[in-house]
Structure 1
Amino acid sequence: MSVAVVLFTSDLRVHDQPVLRAALRGAERVVPLFVRDDGVRAAGFDAPNRLAFLADCLGALDAGLRQRGGRLILRTGDVVDEVCRVVRESGARRVHVAAGVSRYATTREERLRTALREAGCALDVHDAVMTAVPPGAITPAGGDAFAVFTPYFRRWSETRLREVCAAPRTVRVPDLASDPLPERPDAEHVSPGLPEGGEAAARKRLTAWLADGIESYEDRHDDLPGDATSRLSPYLHFGCLSPVEAVHRARGKGGAGAEAFVRQLAWRDFHHQVLAARPEVSWSDYRPRGDAWRSDREEIAAWREGRTGYPVVDAAMRQLAHEGWMHNRGRLLVASFLTKTLYVDWRVGARHFLDLLVDGDLANNQLNWQWAAGTGTDTRPGRVLNPLTQATRFDPGGDYVRRWLPELAELPGNKIHRPWLLPPEDRARLTYPDPIVDLAEGRDRFARARG
């Protein structure tokens, strides 16, 4: 009886799952394995929100496998040690895994290859599982990765994607011991509005989005109170949803909204190909600017807790705390405010996001923060987003602010974004703080620092 191991990482699904399909083609029995990796915990990436979402994802993956006669095998420890242990227990001769782009993922692959070779077992690494177009599949002349999105997107759009794999009908799993499936962490440490994780939830959300949402996406994706984004990013991060399938299905709908949505999926691929080529940019500047960042603890705390005195910034930060997610326009606003108005190191903000975001993807989180800070791939590194101008444009009636700042809920739309302009007697009744910095002062300070 031939046996192969499928090591699930950030590809927790059975639909359009090339890693699983390849293993099933080459073996009579397959071990669907997930390792709760000590290395991930040691690196600080096991934030409560993501652990809660992961618990949902693993439960859903196990359910999907059981519907096909299989089950998920769960182990805990060093990922290489646990894979090798399963190989010995099952007699497997091949291990299949999806390619990753982070330094940790590539190091894991190297360690696995070496250890498995010594055990007489082969390692197969599969592309186009976590991205629509594999990192490195398209490159600029004379370079290893595109540094500007527009030319990358042009080539990306011309690239033929692989076909979507059907979910397997049957998965036969050898009799192996498994750790119990994890439960969500204590609710005290998890954002109360965290969405449900897992493949079933992902596919339900994608279907609903394609039926009622994508058509208006081009016009409404920056609408803060309308919340017209897909909210699929957590499912893409954990691989509960295939980016290849998402692109194919969106293109099948057609129209300007679908084109705008596919463009956002291409941005995701763009960041992955940058990180694959330069893994050090997860914590170092892609384009150093010689910044001497400020480190004001009180200002940083005010930003984290949503009490900067700028309602749209604070509303976005409170949404993050409550949902473990933030509207994309809000992400741009709070990142610009921290890095260019307060002039605080982008790594401070990126770390806070990774602590809370359920879609805390290293490539997209770090490189979006660098884009906002002007140390990344933005072709206009000096741009500063004015929160008042942005609020007027993307939350004109103040409904987004009212949703997240109940202390301002009674203010009219023409006052809610500038509560400090209220008459003194009205201002005194508010519990909301004054701005922690003057916007003009922050802008000038940033301009002087960057030269």
Structure 2
Amino acid sequence: MNTAIVLFNRDLRVHDQPALAAACERAERVVPLFVLDPAVPEGPRHAFLLECLADLRASLRARGGDLVVREGDVVRETMRLATELGAETVCAAADVSSLARRREQRFAGERIEFLLFPGVTVVPPGALLPSGGGDHYRVFTPYWHAWQRHSRRPQLPPPSRVRLPSKLAAGRLPDPGRGGAMPGGESAARERAARWLRQGLDGYADGHDDLAGDRTSRLSPYLRFGCLSPLELACRAERSEAFVRQLCWRDFHHQVAYAFPQINRENYRHGERRWRRDQDALQAWQAGMTGMPIVDAGMRQLLAEGWMHNRARLIVAAYLVKCLGLDWRAGARHFFLHLLDGDVANNCGNWQWVAGTGNDTRPNRSFNPLRQARRFDPAGRYVRRHVPELAALPAEHVHEPWRLPALPAGYPARLDGIGEEPNRGN
């Protein structure tokens, strides 16, 4: 083989990058390619993505290559470049969303060798099948047991050299502008991961639900864009079962989305319920102006940082669907728009779990936002950090509702009587 194209998408790294490693092993010339698709809306993730691409370009240039950037429809632009260069093969990471699957099907219909490789998850979707039959696991616990037993592929070192075809125009990469709260790219990801594995991993089991302490890894945006290999992270973090279990939840939702690609628009299971239509309540929730302090704190953190604490995600999601009775899809759309780590599988899988339409074995699980607030933010420091209007309130009052929105009939005046769910992070 003379020339191979490596089509990057959600695998923006050079360490443990199976598609890149295979192309470098098989081909004399390798063309790393990213196609900026104008059909994909530009949200808060766009600047983060551009930072990831700039860092990937620097890593490839350090190895004698470059990141070729084109703009347009991904399949058309890739095939145009393949024709220009006489490339025989396109290598890419397999993905699970309906958009990615349609793209893969289009490539399969082209007159070129199209090879898919693992790398987006620890265990590839479809690699684990329940013993009782079926094309995927519907319940997490048996999946977790099978996932732990499954043999891992070997981790791959970065290529020592990437040889581009001569006289190939790399293309312009747009300026990301001002960076956000978290810098994008593999270099930042590996630095953050190394620091957290040294300083934060051992306290994760006891501290990951502490809202004010913020003792989570904040590695999810880097996993979403593939700046970190989830396999490498799982191996390096294996001394913490609690953290590795969260990586397994990520794989679990990906294998569900692979089997049920309409997870972002249809209930995974259980019949459709009657959702309320209340645009004012939805907008108050989106803006962090519900009058429920713990909910408003989480929603304002989302808007300010493009990220939200894992426990806060559970609280604000349950408030929308369980307390306000609004459709989970409205919440999932808002999360997907604003979260740096927003992807279809995890985002919609977790929203459906909360709504009782997904993989929760107790779909009618009740939830108490006040009790959650008092348990996981007992001094009110998380609320005061993100809702400055309440900064002067003492801990015993900071979680009390301060301005109730219009609520549905039957909504309790006090929340103390609402039930509770078990401790589960996203």
Equivalent positions of 1:101-120 (< 5 A) are 101-115=96-110, 117=111
Please say if 1:405 is aligned against 2:411: no
Aligned residue runs from structure 1 range 6-405, under 5 A: 6-39=6-39, 41=40, 46-115=41-110, 117=111, 121-127=112-118, 129-140=119-130, 141-174=132-165, 175-184=167-176, 193-251=180-238, 254=239, 258-405=240-387
TM superposition shift of 1:290: 3.1
1:439 to partner: Cα distance: 5.2
Cα deviation 1:311-354 (Å, max 9, x = unaligned): 00000000000000001101000000001100000000000011
Per the alignment, do residues 62 and 276 of structure 1 end up closer, same or farther by CA in structure 2, a change over 3 Å counting? Answer: same
> Cα distance 1:306–1:416, how it changes in 2: closer, same or farther (>3 A)?
same
Q: CA deviation at 1:442?
A: 9.8
TM-score (norm 1): 0.89
* Deviation of 1:419 (Å): 5.6
Cα 1:17–1:124, aligned 2, differ >3 Å: closer, same or farther? same
Could you tell me whether the CA contact under 8 Å between 2:19 and 2:93 is conserved in 1?
A: yes
Secondary structure, in 3 states, of the residue corresponding to 1:48? coil
Amino acid at match of 2:72: G
The code of the aligned residue for 1:440 comes to: P
Distance 2:43 2:278 in 1: 27
Number of residue equivalences: 414
CA contact (8 A) 2:66 2:170 kept: no
Secondary structure of the 2:44 match is helix
Q: Offset at 1:193?
A: 4.9
Per-residue Cα deviation, 1:408-438 (whole angstroms, up to 9, x for no partner): 1111101111164xxxxxxxxxxxx345548
C-alpha RMSD of the superposition: 1.8
Residue in structure 1 matched with residue 423 of structure 2 by the alignment: none
Task: Tell me: CA distance 1:230–1:106, structure 2 relative to 1, closer, same or farther (3 Å).
Answer: same
**2:366 aligned counterpart, secondary structure:** coil
Q: Which amino acid in structure 1 is aligned with residue 12 of structure 2?
A: L
What displacement does 1:289 show?
3.2
**Residues 49 and 225 of structure 2 are in contact (CA less than 8 Å); yes or no, is this contact kept in structure 1?**
yes
CA distances 1:254-309 after superposition (whole Å, capped 9, x unpaired) = 2xxx1110000000000000000111122100113331100111111110010111
Structure 2: state its 5+ residue gaps.
420-426
Give the residue type in structure 2 aligned to 1:104: L
Secondary structure, counterpart of 1:83 in structure 2: helix
The CA distance in 1 between the partners of 2:289 and 2:366, in whole Å, is: 20
C-alpha distance in structure 1 between counterparts of 2:386 and 2:405, whole Å: 17
**How far apart, in 1, do the equivalents of 2:135 and 2:108 lie?**
24
